[in-house]
Amino acid sequence: MTTTVAPRDAARSQDDPVQAFCGELRRFLAVRVDSARIDAEHALPAGLLTELAELGVFGVSIPEAWGGSELGLSGACAVVESLARYDRAVATTVGLHLGLGTRGLVAFADDAQRERWLPDLASGKRLGAFATTEPGAGSDLSRLATRARLDQATGRLRVDGQKIYVTNGGLAQTYTVAVSTEGLGGAASGQNLLVLERDDGLKIGAEEVKLGLRGSSTTSLYLDELDIPMDRVVGVPGAGHRDISQVLAFGRTAMAAGCNGTAWAAIDLATAHVAERKQFGKTLAAQPVIRLQLADMAASLFAMRAMVAATGDVEHDDAELERRSVAAKVYCSETDWTICDTSLQLHGGSGYIEETGAPLLLRDARITRIFEGANDVLASRMGALELIRPGGHATTGTEADEISLITHEVRTNWQARDGLKVLRDPVRLHKLGRLAILREVAVATVAYAGPHPSPRTAALRDHALSRLLQAAEAAARAVAPIATVDAIVDPLFDSGVA
Ligand SMILES: Cc1cc2nc3c(=O)[nH]c(=O)nc-3n(C[C@H](O)[C@H](O)[C@H](O)COP(=O)(O)OP(=O)(O)OC[C@H]3O[C@@H](n4cnc5c(N)ncnc54)[C@H](O)[C@@H]3O)c2cc1C
């Protein structure tokens, strides 16, 4: 298949170690990975993870001191995008390890913990998993029911609870598990990450049967009154809440990069199809409406890559990482979905047939708007961040400045009228968050194109910016007719939509 939308800087691949590594990785994946087969067999091919370990993929986000290649968040994103270009289940398995699965240990563990666990995680001898979600705690992680209690008599922890939907649950050996703490660090209650091993007594549930990502392992974890030594607590005992937030910010960025890989695959698939298929006496590729759709897809992918690159740049700035990671996660997952849907549409009826590969891309993409933080929850969080620490004014001489101004005006008008009450209005927070996300993407897009873009890069930038401005204008105009909501919704729970 032709490669039409390689990363903007692929031409520099010989000089850039990350791009050189990703080029080698993609050549391997192109011959080794059959995504239709992975989907059909609900499993990765035997030996694939070992081969990826030999290539060095499992250590890219781990410091050299602990056996990794220390390519940081940007390096992890580049690797995850390349993996997702060929298969999203492989990208999810590795990406979870590079992001959520190891970040807690890299960023917050002490040296003894790093020495003990990171070398095997970096080499791929052990695979990492991360467990926060529980039956009663999904979007709201303040209410974790899995508890670690300090046993005063033994000085050890009793850990009890259940985690669900754990990516790599059935494959991992090392699990970073978020728990509520009782009595740790002298605090009556708090949260921490614990590092647990499979043979600590973890019980692994059955594999979930999923809409997509079928080659990726997803299981429950049962922690039944485990007796765990204190040296498994990561970070300051009882004070790990912020650590968990920061791990999530790192992980959702790597996940966003996977969306870029899937979108890349969807564009390549669509391009190959429309170049061949003829209707009305010419190829679909020659039809103006279809050309516009292809331009939208390619320009959107440019903006997605820009947002992920901008997020990778602030890996060490916690506040900015949170803001940009939310923008990257929401924008990339939603745009990936749109691109996969357009790709399927351009295939016509054949797009609905599994054999083309278009349905698999769409199925794999669907979960990305839900996991690592449901998008509407994150958009509201972005709105709150915008009220607390407003993003600056863009001064780029492009549409990014207009989007920045729209966001600023919406916020300042509300604040002038209602002050801090806006913080307690979820609908307005959500709308403001959506605008702030578009501003972040627009600013990142301008920066990614650079000051002296080639004509093609300038076209991608300009097309993306005009679409982002359209979206911002529509979002700003949208009014929520709150007065009618209760009158419509309340009866749904009594009589349905009859
Ligand atoms: C394949 C897969 C892999 C996963 N991997 C992991 C993993 O490795 N580790 C892990 O810990 N978890 C994992 N998860 C769990 C995932 O992160 C959660 O499903 C997700 O965070 C949403 O939580 P929930 O399912 O409880 O949805 P809920 O919190 O019940 O929310 C349901 C929906 O309601 C909406 N919603 C909820 N609250 C609000 C609000 N305040 N404002 C607006 N809308 C709202 C959103 O649309 C949301 O999707 C995985 C899930 C799946 C399906």
Nearest CA to ligand 1 atom 26: 138
Predicted local confidence at residue 7, as pLDDT = 55
Class of domain 8-126 (CATH, top level): mainly alpha
83-87, 120-124, 262-266, 491-495: segment of lowest average pLDDT: 491-495
Predicted local confidence at residue 12, as pLDDT = 47
Nearest CA to ligand 1 atom 7: 166
Q: What is the pLDDT of residues 385-414, one digit of tens each?
A: 999 999 988 999 999 999 999 999 999 999
Q: How confident is the model at residue 460 (pLDDT cuts 50, 70, 90)?
A: very high
What values do phi and psi take at 278, rounded to 5? -110, 135
Query: How far away, in angstroms, is 139 Cα from ligand 1 center?
Result: 5
Nearest CA to ligand 1 atom 4: 165
Mean pLDDT of the chain: 95
**Phi-psi map region of 213: left, alpha, beta (phi>0 left; psi -120 to 50 alpha):** left
Q: How confident is the model at residue 484 (pLDDT cuts 50, 70, 90)?
A: confident
Query: How far away, in angstroms, is 386 Cα from ligand 1 center?
Result: 23
Class of domain 129-237 (CATH, top level): mainly beta
Q: What percent of the chain has pLDDT over 90?
A: 90
Q: In the structure encoding, which two tokens stand for residue 308, read together?
A: 């992920």
Predicted local confidence at residue 11, as pLDDT = 42
Query: How far away, in angstroms, is 373 Cα from ligand 1 center?
Result: 6
Counting ligand 1 atoms within 8 A of each CB, the residue from 97, 174, 377, 381 with the most, and so the one to mutate, is 377
Predicted local confidence at residue 15, as pLDDT = 72
**What is the Cα–Cα distance from 480 to 408, expressed in whole angstroms?**
19
Does the beta carbon of 132 lie inside 6 Å of ligand 1?
A: yes
Average pLDDT for residues 95-104, to the nearest whole number? 98
Is residue 281 within 8 A of residue 104, CB to CB? The reply is no
Spell out the domain ranges in the chain.
8-126, 129-237, 244-477
Q: How far is CA 6 from CA 12, 26, 78, 82, in A?
A: 12, 11, 12, 10
Q: What is the pLDDT of residues 46-94, one digit of tens each?
A: 999 999 999 999 999 999 999 999 999 999 999 999 999 999 999 999 9
Question: Does 8 have pLDDT greater than 90?
Answer: no
Counting ligand 1 atoms within 8 A of each CB, the residue from 371, 375, 380 with the most, and so the one to mutate, is 371
Nearest CA to ligand 1 atom 24: 138
119-133, 293-307, 417-431, 482-496: segment of lowest average pLDDT: 482-496
Which residues are within 8 A (CB) of 430 and not within 5 positions of it... i.e. 6 or more apart?
376, 379, 380, 383
- The three-point CA angle 69-71-75 to 5° equals 130
Pairing of β 190-197 and β 174-182: antiparallel
Is residue 250 within 8 A of residue 73, CB to CB? The reply is yes
Question: Does 30 have pLDDT greater than 80?
Answer: yes
Is residue 444 within 8 A of residue 303, CB to CB? The reply is yes
Does the beta carbon of 309 lie inside 6 Å of ligand 1?
A: no
b (16+ CB within 10 A) / e for 67-103: bbbbbbbbbbbbbbbbbbbbbbbbbbbbbbbbbbbbb
Average pLDDT for residues 180-208, to the nearest whole number? 94
Around 184, how many Cα atoms within 13 Å sit in the side-chain half-sphere?
Answer: 31
Average pLDDT for residues 228-240, to the nearest whole number? 96
Predicted local confidence at residue 392, as pLDDT = 83
- For 244-477, CATH gives 1.20.140.10
